[in-house]
Amino acid sequence: MNYVTWIVMSALTLGCASSYPVPNDQMAAAQKEVGRAEQSGAPRVPDAKLHLQLAHENLTKAKSFMEKDNQRASILIQRAAAEAELALSLSTHETAKTESNEAVEQLGKVKDQ
Per-residue pLDDT of the chain (113 residues; tens, 9 = 90+): 565 555 655 555 555 445 889 999 999 999 999 999 999 999 999 999 999 999 999 999 999 999 899 999 999 999 999 999 999 999 999 999 988 888 888 888 888 77
CA distance 5 to 13: 12
- 21-38 b/e with 16+ CB inside 10 Å = b? eebeebbebbbebbeebb
- Distance in angstroms (rounded) separating the CA atoms of residues 11 and 16: 9
CA distance 92 to 30: 18
Taking the model in full, what pTM does it have?
A: 0.77
Domain ranges of the chain: 22-97
